[in-house]
């Protein structure tokens, strides 16, 4: 499975000072991690915004690698 989008889901800056969370992508990261674990097969998550090539495991909201995932 391939999931692709344009955003840095690990951005820690708050876009709005009144937001209670560090990132607007907390729910997105959680959903991808939960779905990848349930799927049980390789999942490639392709996203951009940092302009730096990184290849590693996709990480959940507490930065633990999610099994069977790759982040490009």
pLDDT in tens, 8-31: 888 765 555 555 556 678 889 999
Integer Cα distance of 71 and 60 in angstroms? 12
Predicted pLDDT at 49: 78
In 3D space, the residue among 29, 24, 27 whose CA is nearest the CA of residue 57 turns out to be 29
In the chain, how many domains are there? 1
Residue 15 makes CB contacts below 8 A (sequence gap 6+) with 24
The strand pair at 43-48 and 69-71 is best described as parallel
Q: What is the pTM of this model?
A: 0.79
Q: Which domain holds residue 47?
A: 2-11+20-71
CB 28 within 8 A of CB 9: yes
């Amino acid at each position: 499975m391939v999931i692709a989008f344009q955003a840095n889901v690990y951005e820690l800056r708050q876009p709005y000072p009144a937001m209670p969370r560090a990132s607007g992508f907390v729910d997105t990261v959680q959903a991808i991690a939960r779905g990848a674990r349930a799927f049980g097969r390789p999942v490639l998550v392709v996203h951009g915004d940092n302009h730096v090539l990184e290849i590693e495991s996709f990480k959940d909201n507490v930065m633990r690698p999610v099994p069977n995932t790759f982040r490009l």
